[in-house]
Amino acid sequence: MRTIALRLACVLVLALLAPVQAAPDDHAGAIAALADVRAAVAEIVRIENGYAVGHGAYVRAAHRAMNALVGRRDDGYVSSFGDPGDGIGTLGHLDTMLDQEASWRWTPAIEGAKANVLAAAENLQSALGQKEMEEYEADLTRALANLALVVGRPSQDGVLGGISGALGNTTLGVPAGAASVSGCALPAHAPAYGVVAQRLVYVALPRHAASAAIPAELSIGRVVVRDDDIVLYTRGGADATAACRGATRLQRTRAVAATPATPPYTAAQAHDGIAIYKHSCIQCHGADLQGTAGPAVAGTEFLATAKTNKWTLADLRATVFENMPFSDPGSLTPKQYAAVTAFLLASNCYPAGTAPFPQSASGRLAAVKLGPVAGAKPANSKLGTCAAK
Amino acid sequence: MLRRVITLAAVAIVSLVAISRLNAQSAWPTADSYVSADTDAANWILPARSYTGNRYLAHADITTANVSTLKKAWATNIDARGPLETSPIAWNGTVYVTSSHNDVYALDAKTGAIKWHYAYKPHVIAFSANRGVAIGNGKVYEGTLDGHLIALDATTGRVAWNVVAAHDTTNTFYTMQPVPYKNMLLLGASNGDWGGIGYLSAFDAATGKRLWDWKTIPGPGEAGHNTWSGDSWKRGGAAIWSGIAIDTTSSTLYADAGNPQPDFLGTIRKGANLYSNSMVALDISGATPKLKWYHQFIPHDTHDWDPAMPPVLFSGSVGGTTRSLVAAGDKGGNFWVLDAGTGDVVYHLAVSTQKGQDTEPNRKGDIACPNTNGGVEFNGGSYLPETNAFYVPSVDQCGQWTSPGTATYVSGQFYLGGAFPKLIGPSSGYMSAVDIGTGKFLWRKHLAFPQIGGALSLSSGVVFTGGVNGDFTAYDAKTGSVLWHSATNQTIQAPPGSYSAGGKQYVIVASGPAGINFADPRFAKGAPTLEGTYSHATKATITAFALP
């Protein structure tokens, strides 16, 4: 067992240090998504700043902006108005990026961008139904505010960074086929992208071509000029240095056992979940969680099924938050949903921790695979369930 | 000791007499006895009594004059972990029923005493439910919640064989009652909300070996394939899950394929989505089925309004002309009458409130009627030749659907592209009698609770049905007046059946917990019934009624 833990530690160290390349078309997808947003913004700005006369021009502008955002596969797309975007739409690109098993450092930012695209689309839809010019403009202004968040800022990592932040600070900024090296050291050759723990630390460019090749979505924190190349460090580079140090320490000592990704939840959440389960779930899933009219939700049978079907914590979350309670989905608050999910995790013998189960969707949950819990000591050995307290 | 020997001898003689009285009737139903099942007053050997799918009894001791004296003859409790949907099979003094979790019971037809009980422990994917067994060749057959087909020894309940019958057991299960036909067992798979493609299978009744599958969604190169955009057909649903009918003279099988998937997101499966929400007529005279015709009831459905009612074949008079007809009902609230030979619509009418049916679920949520569990449900209804009327219970509810605009397939989970709807407004039901001659209501009763208990009609002019509040009711087929009722105090979502034993006619029905789809908030407070109040049922019971 000890050997396995050590091996896992090594794997983790390698995983942290090895440059992780996003799926090849994610970078291109993000760039295209950004272009579609900008096309939509241009349509809105043009009509707001112009002097169009007549209802038709306003309707047309809102429709064209909508088309660029949602893409032709969406119901909101009306082809007769034309599309200033590429037809796939920001939403189409973002959905493709999010529709994958792997979860990346940039996933939360893209999820946030998607939520803002949907909000902008709602506002455009609302604008189309307005009769008063003032109301129309107010809706368009709200849509613009949403779109500003979709574009985001290269200087900001995480959800607030939007698409630009993800391009400028994470591996999403690395084009398909580009050389990607460890960001913990300067590169041997340029061009190269330095990454660590899925952060984009620097972009190294040959000096002769540098001025033309600087990526648009880069917030430069520090520049190192060398003989043949210049190395543009991102603003997030400082964090990366810490990650490099941590990784080195881990590598040196090899003593810290790596733990596989475990579900986040607190004991207090699980406790709160007991009452919610009894009120909203017990009727179909049973007092022993083995299912009555519905399926088992904890214990040996549930975890075996979860393993066979390759369920992740994100799948569990989606089912609980979006489809349950069966007769009234969406009727609990996010806090209640998080609590009852914590209760299920506790009942499945996952250990409680300090990080709470998130109330909003998080890309990280897709990395947590569900299955029998190693070292679990079920309170009910026959059913394989633990008791939430 | 001597006395005991004598008693045993007496039993032996009685048994011999009983066997000789059965005469040519063999120990188990033959292919011929299934074909003439509707003429056998004593037994009930097919899911809906005969291959026509019509729960109708041509000879009945129970009449409009004496039904008011009907009394409970026996009641037997069985496994109550979920709702009972079982359609009892009765043969030679034994009644075979199932529980929601696939437990099988052989009951004494006269006393309800348990002769044997087979307990099965299936993995439940989503809903625990089972609609009953088939019998034949000394075996009892059941499709299970984990996608198996099992055969039990009918006299002992011991397992004869058990085969994995579903192609993908992570997203497919069986709730349908197997239908014996010739040497086959016909069984449809439930995978139409979990990302599968519907199929009806035929298995060799002797071994469980698969003989054929008929897929409900045309693949590349097949007619109708272009009614699905892109690759959406690959997880298009259209499961055949409720029941089937067979015209044995023309070897035509009638089945209804269910809703398309993802249930609530139409944008990623543009087109009519054949053969979802369609009745299909299949020629089963050859080695594999061939499509004769189809009729799609609701093209491009986005509300899970599948035609849940099993088809009913009957010969009815329309505008003075006798025609071969087939009836259908969908969860969208329509009752349909089609020409059985061509699939042409003779007429259809709304048996539940309909509203907002053309809107698709979106991010904000759309309100439409009926709700997903609304309209005509999986026990359908019954045709009575004596009144030329069709008796069909229905659910009257509205719902609010939401769809985030995306759908993700996760093995073993719902594939919906949204969530099942939230009940909006009141929940009630109807018992309707449709005059087949005119396509208009002969009578209808608006009831406080959803009605999904199917119907059993007797030539004497009595129609039985049950409601989710547990009322089991006998109506006068001509007028709709209530002739008799019994409060089971458990939800009825199983169809009524009938058999005779010891010279006495019994009417039998299963009742139990409400389950997932028909739990009603009113049950918690004590819901009104014809005889008192109903609260959440915790037991599951098979009840037989008889005249005194």
B437-492 pLDDT, tens digit per residue, is 999 999 999 999 999 999 999 999 999 999 999 999 999 999 999 999 999 999 99
Whether A7 is covered by a domain: the verdict is: no
Which of A222-226, B44-48, B228-232, B473-477 is predicted least confidently?
A222-226
Quote the CA–CA distance of B375 and B389 in Å, as a whole number: 19
Residues A40 and A124 in one domain: yes
CA distance A123 to B259: 33
Q: Which residue has the tokens 């307290």?
A: A389
| Residue B264, helix vs strand vs coil | coil
Distance CA B477, CA B64 (A): 9
The DSSP string of A87-117 is SSHHHHHHHHHHSSS---TTHHHHHHHHHHH
- Selecting from A296, A308, A330 the residue whose C-beta is nearest the C-beta of B419 gives A330
Contacts of B363 in chain A (CB under 8 A): 118, 122
A76, A97: one domain: yes
**A99 and A206 share a domain?**
no
Q: Which domain holds residue A104?
A: 23-169
Helix/strand/coil for B299: coil
Q: Tell me, what's the ipTM?
A: 0.88
**Residue A64 counted as domain residue:** yes
Same domain flag for A295 and A242: no
Convert the pLDDT of each residue in B32-59 to its tens digit. Answer: 999 999 999 899 999 999 999 999 999 8
Contact across the interface for A293 and B363, Cβ inside 8 Å: no
Inter-chain touch B123–A301, beta carbons under 8 Å: yes
pLDDT at res. A278: 95
The fraction of chain B above a pLDDT of 90, given in percent, is 88
- Is A4 inside a domain boundary? no
Q: Which residues in chain B have Cβ-Cβ distances shorter than 8 Å to A318? A: 408, 410
Residue of A nearest to B411 (CA): A309
**Given CB atoms, is B211 within the 8 Å cutoff of chain A?**
no
Quick one: pLDDT band at residue A248, thresholds 50, 70, 90? low
Q: A199 and A69, same structural domain?
A: no
Question: In Å, how far is A282's CA from the nearest CA of chain B?
Answer: 11
Kindly indicate the confidence band of residue B174, based on its pLDDT and cuts at 50, 70 and 90. Answer: very high
Tell me the fold of B29-546: Methanol Dehydrogenase; Chain A (2.140.10)
| Angstrom distance (rounded) from CA B107 to CA B505 | 16
Q: Cα distance from B248 to chain A (closest Cα, Å)?
A: 36
Q: Does A330 touch chain B (CB under 8 A)?
A: yes
Given a cut of 60, is residue A256 above it in pLDDT? no
CB-nearest partner of B420 from A294, A315, A323? A323
- A12 min Cα distance to partner chain B (Å): 27
Instruction: Classify residue A15: in a domain, yes or no.
Output: no
Q: Distance, in angstroms, between A183 CA and closest chain B CA?
A: 35
The number of helix segments (H) and strand segments (E) in chain A equals 14, 5
Residue A281 sits in the same domain as residue A249: no
Sheet holding B471-476, edge to edge: B56-57, B456-458, B462-466, B471-476, B482-487
Contact B506, B469 (CB under 8 A): no
Chain A segment 139-158 residues within 8 A of B by beta carbon are none
With beta carbons less than 8 A apart as the criterion, state whether B416 and A319 touch: no
Q: Is A239 on the interface with B (CB under 8 A)?
A: no
Q: Does A129 touch chain B (CB under 8 A)?
A: no
Same domain, A100 and A148: yes
Residues of B in contact with A311 (CB under 8 A): 410-413
The contacts of residue A228 (CB under 8 Å, 6+ apart) are A190, A206, A207
Number of inter-chain CB pairs under 8 A, A vs B: 97
The helix or strand, by DSSP H or E, that contains position A189, with its residue range, turns out to be: none
B291, B281 Cβ separation under 8 angstroms: yes
Classify residue A309: in a domain, yes or no: yes
Band (pLDDT 50/70/90 cuts) for residue A287 is very high
User: Within the 342-381 window of chain A, which residues sit less than 8 Å (CB to CB) from chain B?
Assistant: none
Same domain for A240 and A280, yes or no, is no
Which chain B residues contact residue A71 at CB under 8 A? Answer: none
pLDDT, chain A, mean: 84
Pick the residue from chain B with its C-alpha nearest to A316.
B413
**Domain limits of chain B?**
29-546
pLDDT range class, residue B20, cuts 50, 70, 90: very low
Q: Examine residue A55 and state whether it is found in any structural domain, yes or no.
A: yes
Q: By the CB < 8 Å criterion, does A291 face chain B?
A: yes
pLDDT greater than 60 at residue A323: yes
Give me chain B's average pLDDT, please: 94
- B75 contact A CB<8A: no
Q: What is the pLDDT of residue A238?
A: 65
pLDDT at B19: 43
pLDDT in tens, A341-378: 999 999 999 999 999 999 988 878 988 999 999 889 99
Question: How many residues are given for chain B?
Answer: 548
Give pLDDT, residue A249.
53
Residue A258 lies in a domain: no
Q: Is the domain of A88 the same as that of A149?
A: yes
CB B491 within 8 A of CB B82: no
Q: Are residues A200 and A234 in the same domain?
A: yes
Q: Nearest chain A Cα to B125, which residue? A: A295
> Residue A15: its pLDDT value, please?
41
Q: Which residue among A169, A195, A212 closes a domain?
A: A169
- Kindly give the interhelix angle for A162-169 and A133-151, rounded to the nearest 10 degrees: 10
Answer with the residue of higher pLDDT: A87 or A20.
A87
pLDDT class for B269, splitting at 50, 70, 90?
very high
pTM over the 0.95 mark: no
Domain boundary (A169, A188, A214) is at: A169
Band of pLDDT at residue A246, cut at 50, 70 and 90: low
A161 with A189, same domain: the answer is no
Query: What is the Cα B432 distance to its own chain's centre?
Result: 18
* Least CB–CB distance from B423: residue in A293, A310, A327: A327
From chain A, pick out residues whose CB is under 8 angstroms from the CB of B540: none
Per-residue pLDDT tens over the stretch B116-156 = 999 999 999 999 999 999 999 999 999 999 999 999 999 99
Is residue A389 included in any domain, yes or no? no
Same domain, A237 and A118: no
Tell me how close the Cα of B116 comes to any Cα of chain A, in angstroms: 23
Residues from chain A contacting residue B231 (CB–CB below 8 Å): none
Rounded CA separation A107/B388 (Å): 63
Decide if B126 touches A, using CB distance below 8 A: yes
- Find the residue in B nearest to A301 (Cα): B123
Q: Show which of A154, A169, A184 is a domain's final residue.
A: A169
Q: Cis before residue B393, ω within 30 degrees of 0?
A: no
Residue B336 has a pLDDT of: 98
Residue B518 identity (one-letter amino acid): F
Q: Which residues of A are less than 8 Å from B102 in CB distance?
A: none
Number of structural domains in chain A: 3
